[in-house]
Amino acid sequence: MIEVRRAGALTTVQDLGRPGYAHLGVPRSGALDPPALTLANRLVGNAPGAAALEITATGCAIRLRRAAAVAVTGAYAEVRVDGRAAQFAAPLSLPAGTTVDVGPARAGVRSYLAVGGGLAVAPVLGSRSTDTLSGLGPAPLRDGDVLPLGTPERFPAADFAPWRPPAGDLLLAVRFGPRADWFTDDARGTLLSTEYKISPMSNRVGARLSGARLGRARGGELPSEGLVLGAVQVPAAGEPLIFLADHPTTGGYPVIAVVEDVTPLAQAGPGTAVRFREVGGPVR
């Protein structure tokens, strides 16, 4: 088992999510930065989708109750083992009783801590991920929590992974629709020509953007309809938000476009500049 010594602002258990249940009102959830999660697992010899810790911004500390391999990836943070500096993005073979302290994120937002064997909390609908919107899966961690570990699987492991800092500005590919016709031509042009900023109000549900407001071509309200990962919804105030892993499965505000890949948003902190470019045909 591992014992949580310092949970930080928001540390959750995440794997690759629970796809296939949107028709039941259950979003996919899962790690916001899947490549960082799978890399952490590879470094300690786990299967790519093994459950690990997603640590948001302020860091986290755990104590091992058995000997295990540990690796930290994603947002760069100082890693200390029993108070001594340790390597980031590399496997650490540690004895029972060791305390691993992941400091605040210095570049990026979310770090991933994997432990050999993976976190063996009870799965819900086939996944161990915490869904912060619906409450499915284990609750966000608190100081003193104890989490079980699985049996190490001895998958091929890596010895080291080069770290790349997150991009300073983001250029996200979008397809217009399914409700682009609810907005004026000027609004669609504004979305593609204006720089937005990530709002501090962003979370695992969605990345809120501050910037130019998008005017509607239609009045009234839209009946609730299905939402997908990456949907760019425009509430009544006119500033867009991009839905992330814990997004609701239905919503009533119109969706002007859908982002092709939301992964870069996992490491985009408040104030990050975001621009959009159109690709392909419309979403229908």
- Quick one: pLDDT at residue 156? 62
Provide the domain count of the chain: 2
Q: What tens digit of pLDDT does each residue of 148-186 get?
A: 999 987 776 667 677 788 878 999 999 999 999 999 999
Query: How many whole angstroms separate alpha carbon 197 and alpha carbon 213?
Result: 12
What are the φ/ψ torsions at residue 104 (nearest 5 degrees)? -60, 150
Rg (CA), the chain: 20
- Quick one: pLDDT at residue 167? 78
Whether 44 is in a domain gets the answer yes
Query: How many whole angstroms separate alpha carbon 205 and alpha carbon 131?
Result: 9
For residues 210, 37, 176 and 225, what is the CA-based torsion angle, rounded to 10 degrees? -90
E strands in the chain: 2-6, 10-14, 52-56, 60-64, 68-81, 84-86, 92-94, 99-115, 146-147, 169-176, 196-198, 206-210, 225-226, 231-233, 241-243, 250-251, 255-259, 273-278
Which CATH number characterizes residue 41's domain? 2.60.120
Q: In which residue are the tokens 């390597």 written?
A: 87
Spatial contact of 246 and 131, defined as CB atoms under 8 Å apart: yes
Considering the domain architecture, whether residues 32 and 127 belong to the same structural domain is answered as yes
Considering the domain architecture, whether residues 8 and 141 belong to the same structural domain is answered as yes
- Quick one: pLDDT at residue 166? 82
What are the φ/ψ torsions at residue 80 (nearest 5 degrees)? -125, 135
Q: What tens digit of pLDDT does each residue of 11-52 get?
A: 999 999 999 998 888 989 999 999 999 999 999 999 999 999
- Quick one: pLDDT at residue 163? 77
Cβ neighbours for 191, distance < 8 A, ≥ 6 positions apart: 174, 214, 232, 240, 256, 257, 276
Q: Which of 266, 1, 245, 246 is nearest to 118 (CA)?
A: 1
Query: How many whole angstroms separate alpha carbon 189 and alpha carbon 219?
Result: 20
Q: In which residue are the tokens 């408040």 written?
A: 270
Q: Which of 116, 136, 109 is nearest to 36 (CA)?
A: 109
CB burial of residue 153 (10 Å; 0-12, 13-18, 19+):
middle
Considering the domain architecture, whether residues 120 and 214 belong to the same structural domain is answered as no
Q: Which of 185, 193, 230 is nearest to 212 (CA)?
A: 193
Q: Which of 147, 179, 195 is the last residue of a domain?
A: 147
- Quick one: pLDDT at residue 23? 87
Which CATH number characterizes residue 217's domain? 2.40.100.10
Provide block-wise average pLDDT over 10 residues at a time, the chain (284 residues): 97 96 90 96 94 98 96 97 96 96 97 97 97 95 98 74 82 96 95 96 97 92 92 95 96 96 96 95 76
3-state secondary structure of 121: coil
Considering the domain architecture, whether residues 44 and 142 belong to the same structural domain is answered as yes
Considering the domain architecture, whether residues 24 and 140 belong to the same structural domain is answered as yes
Considering the domain architecture, whether residues 139 and 8 belong to the same structural domain is answered as yes
Whether 154 is in a domain gets the answer no
Query: How many whole angstroms separate alpha carbon 167 and alpha carbon 198?
Result: 13
pLDDT, the chain, mean? 94
- Residue range(s) defining the domain that contains residue 204: 169-278
Considering the domain architecture, whether residues 6 and 126 belong to the same structural domain is answered as yes
Considering the domain architecture, whether residues 110 and 183 belong to the same structural domain is answered as no
